[in-house]
A and B are shown apart, each in its own frame.
Chain A
Amino acid sequence: MMPGHIVRFAIAIVAFAILARLPVGLDPAFQFDAALAVIWGFGILSLVLLTGYAGQVSLCQATFAGVAAYGAGMTVAGMHGGYLLGIIIGVLAATVLGVIVGLPALRLHGITLAIVTLGIALVFDKYVFQDHIFDWFTGGTGGWQVTQASLFGIPVDSSKHLLTAYDVMLALFCMVAVLMVNLHQSGAGRRFRAIRDSELAASTMGVNLARYKLLAFALSASIAGMGGSFYPLIAGSVSPQPFWVFTSLQLAAIGVLMGVRYVPAAALGGLFMAVVPDVLTRYGHGTFMNRFNYDISYDWFQLAVGVLLVLQLILLPDGVWGDIRAKALRAWDVVRMKPREEVRPA
């Protein structure tokens, strides 16, 4: 372990300790939001690797999460396996799908790749998650019901032990986040970034494009799948609705909004995506100053995301976290009284 590794590890532990306390004592609906935030956090984290590091576009990240959720649900509710096995099966299923989606990416770029992945999300939404042919996988119209589950002998389920599930997910999230930062700073991460900056140079300098693009998709899908595989646990059942096309689009939009190149943006984004719509639907209607009736529903959230995205592209091109980071770095320079760099023949 290098010093950098130790620092990152320490930061992750502190972050875990703080985040784990957040939902304690809140009402169960908010505790559910917190757990959901981690799931979407995984979703955005998967985009950080795929888009932020490797420069590939994908609009089907929620599909990966969905496949993992159904995989886990099927294993636990349909085949009466343990939840750990469910997570493993779910993540594996997502990874396999990731590799398959990665194949067209060997040829396609940018907008065409976006359209292909969007197509995949649509197909899974309509013809897998909602089709009776796949009842064995989706558990039919009612979906899988997961009532009792335990991990390593600790009971974790939606009804009574939601916070335990939240802690487990959060710990995993922090761990994956650290690994991702390590990856960014290492040889493999450099190769991903090289593909993002110039594929031409990357391939002629010895990077196996096919291998690393597929790897990026596989890793990304498995990260999204990790989040998804916990969904049955915290919701008690699986349904197609959370993993429909629109969620994929939202993940992409909020990922970019928060700064798709930075790992901490995933935490911000997950929180934003899980909590804000819920707050809106819950407190979004009432009367203002006893006179004006207002009614802000979930739909407004979509609009807000759109507007924010436009604002961000103009004002903070590197995303919210990118901007915070730049400001912090500058402040740090001032604190250390580092002189402004002198004129040099650059």
Chain B
Amino acid sequence: MTMLRIRNLGVRFGGVVALHGVSLDLNRGEILGLIGPNGAGKTTLFNCISGVIAPNEGTIHFEGRSLRFAPPHERARRGIARTFQNLQLWGSMTVLENLELPIDAIARRNTLSDALGLPFSHYAERAASERARAILHALGLGRYRDRLAADLPAGIQRRVELGRALAMRPKLVLLDEPAAGLDAGETEQLAKLLHKVRERFRVSMLLVDHDMSLVMRVCDYIYVLDFGKVLSRGEPPVVRNDQKVIAAYLGEPTPELVEASPTVPEPVITTTIPDAPQLPRTDAVEVAGETGTLLEVTGMAAGYAHLEVIRDIDLTVQAGEVVACIGANGAGKTTTLRAISGVIRPRAGRVTFGGHDITGARPEHIARLGLAHIPEGRGLFPRLSVEDTLRLAVDAAGKPERLEAAYDVFPRLKQRCRQAVGTLSGGEQQMVAMARAILTQPRLLMIDEMSQGLAPTIVCQLFQMIDVFRQQGTAVLLVEQFVESALAVADRAYIFEHGSIVHEAPAEELRRDRGLISGSYLGSAPDSTEAIEVAANGNGHHRVLDPELMEILSMRVPAEVKRALEERAEREGRSAGALALELLEEVNHTQ
């Protein structure tokens, strides 16, 4: 049965045709993949379905009814939930509140009785809170419950967004790049989770992601968009081998980008840039001749508010060296880059760059010394046009032809040069951030999650660019979700675990000895692995933890019992849902 039927959808933004004649069918319980190059119109399609923008033409039917005049909240009530590529959590609210809101927004609560604290509100409030807790437990997010959403690392925020969408008890979930910034292990968990959610809740999904290992594994059927049109569609194997799709989007398959297999040989990068862009250098910076230690970090610690996130960080980067930082989400890599570039102040330790002590210096001062930082959030000004953003980077007196070098790398940006950066697609924004950093011609380039949100072909190109950098004498410090590709270009790597560096080795060695890496990944995410397992398999006996049961448990059990349960769960480091299920089973046995 068709749940979502889209016919002939068209969207134009001024001269830009974002979607044209797109038709799509989604059946109940199906997971549909939506892939395509950056700026192909995937997010725009999501915006049309969730009612954020109105299409210029075409129709969308959900469960047989037209969505034409339904505002976004009405669509949410009918059962359409979504996540956002550019994270949209309510930052000043706690994680728990973020999940409670959709639950009671759907329930149409009464403002007056809320303010008076009437029993009815009290009851609804408790129900919402219990359900939100259950979902957080199931996603392994229990311990972030009372943290402000804005204070969490991006990877965790993405998981909270997923939880928030599921809290609505939706019939259809639109997932916009849920695996961005996740490493191979975490992506694997996500894939399992999505399958289980589908099975248990009978939820249909529309999945956009550039991580082919996820899309190919999870989806039943795939649509490929290119320039706003449907380029191809079919089951995953068909799409993967479709020549048109390979040419437009996938590129020649590198092992990692297409399929995450734990033991791959050295990845072969096969696409080549016709002319590796030779970026002209300013005279101020000595070229290739630069040698010696460029960046030296000793004993650094840093954190946010009450929380110390990293400590005892010792790290060096030689001139012209490519260094990779590896470790699970939340191991402290992003915080390390931030503390180096002055975005946050180190609490202890010393940072020197090119002979200058830059510990705690202001970020603009550090940038002037030739250290460029591309943050995870990209750090762009949304109202500035592409061209102006890049021009700022080449500085006031810059020659316009220099911009051409950046446009050569990202031809897409040339077409969009007058557009405000804030209206670009997620991937296009990432390109702007990269181009800007390249144009400043830094001595050290620090990139946080370079490949996030970018199409596979472009990711390949970028990795090759890093090689070009090395030849030109620019050092690179890289945080990357595609570990294989990162190790392939890097000279050396640091492995992060629980906020410190546990190992340092030449990249070559790590490529050979994979045990070192996988150990760090598994070691640092026990909570989420276990919790998702529990959500998926009950207590490990391949019994599915029934969501209804979870709800009954969390709502009807007297508060004292529940607290005891949660305390015990905390002590034993397991999820309360699993524990409850186990206890129930014991009771059943004895009866």
Contact = CB atoms under 8 A, between A and B. Distances in A.
Contact of B124 (A187, A198, A206): A187
Nearest to B310: A343
Given A179-B116, A201-B90, A346-B307, A190 B101 contact: yes
A121 B56 CA distance: 39
A217 to B, nearest CB: 13
Contact of A206 (B77, B110, B115, B311): B77
Contacts of A151: none
Interface string A315-346: 00000000000000000000000001111111
Interface string B1-39: 000000000000000000000000000000000000000
A193 interface: yes
B73 A209 contact: yes
Contacts of A198: 88-91
Contact of A205 (B102, B311, B499): B102
A204 B72 contact: yes
A180 B71 contact: no
Nearest to B144: A346
B116 A201 contact: no
A159 interface: no
A345 B328 contact: yes
A346 B156 contact: yes
A207 interface: yes
Nearest to A333: B306
Contacts of A193: 90, 92-93, 97
B117 A182 contact: yes
A196 B125 contact: no
Interface string B303-332: 100111111000000000000000010111
Interface string A170-186: 00000000011011001
A187 B101 CA distance: 7
A5 B122 CA distance: 10
A186 B121 contact: yes
B437 to A, nearest CB: 26
Contacts of A1: 117, 122
Contact of B97 (A182, A190, A342): A190
A126 B111 CA distance: 35
Given A187-B125, A190-B104, A209-B73, A346 B115 contact: no
A190 B124 CA distance: 14
B507 interface: no
A9 B311 CA distance: 45
A197 B117 CA distance: 24
A344 B498 contact: yes
Given A205-B101, A206-B102, A186 B72 contact: no
Contacts of B114: 182-183, 186-189
Contact of B125 (A183, A186, A200, A345): A186
B117 A206 contact: no
Contact of B309 (A204, A208, A215, A343): A343
A203 B114 CA distance: 20
B50 interface: yes
B93 A190 contact: yes
A345 B525 CA distance: 8
B77 A187 contact: no
A205 B164 contact: yes
Given A186-B117, A197-B90, A200-B88, A206 B331 contact: no
A220 to B, nearest CB: 13
Contacts of A189: 114
Interface in B90-130: 90-93, 97, 100-102, 104-107, 109-111, 114-117, 121-122, 124-125, 128
Contacts of B93: 190, 193-194, 197
Interface in B283-309: 303, 306-309
Contact of B109 (A188, A197, A343): A188
B82 to A, nearest CB: 6
Contact of A215 (B90, B102, B111, B116): B111
A186 to B, nearest CB: 4
Contacts of B464: none
A191 interface: yes
Contact of A345 (B51, B76, B499): B499
A46 to B, nearest CB: 14
A204 B51 contact: yes
A314 interface: no
Chain A CB count within 10 A is highest, among B50, B82, B104, B117, for: B117
B390 interface: no
Contacts of A215: 111
A307 interface: no
Contact of A204 (B76, B125, B524, B525): B76
A111 interface: no
A179 B71 CA distance: 31
A344 B329 CA distance: 12
Contacts of B330: 345-346
A189 B309 CA distance: 32
B51 to A, nearest CB: 7
A287 B381 CA distance: 54
Interface in A126-182: 179-180, 182
Given A190-B93, A207-B73, A209-B73, A179 B156 contact: no
A29 interface: no
20 contacts: A2-B122, A187-B101, A188-B109, A189-B114, A190-B100, A193-B97, A194-B93, A197-B90, A198-B89, A201-B89, A202-B90, A204-B81, A205-B81, A206-B73, A206-B106, A341-B308, A343-B303, A343-B310, A344-B143, A345-B499
Interface of B: 50-52, 71-73, 75-77, 81-82, 84, 88-93, 97, 100-102, 104-107, 109-111, 114-117, 121-122, 124-125, 128, 143, 152-153, 156, 164, 168, 303, 306-311, 328, 330-332, 498-499, 524-525
Given A187-B125, A341-B308, 12 more contacts: A186-B115, A188-B111, A188-B115, A194-B101, A197-B91, A203-B72, A205-B105, A206-B106, A208-B73, A209-B71, A343-B498, A346-B330
Interface of A: 1-2, 5, 179-180, 182-183, 186-191, 193-194, 196-198, 200-210, 215, 219, 340-346
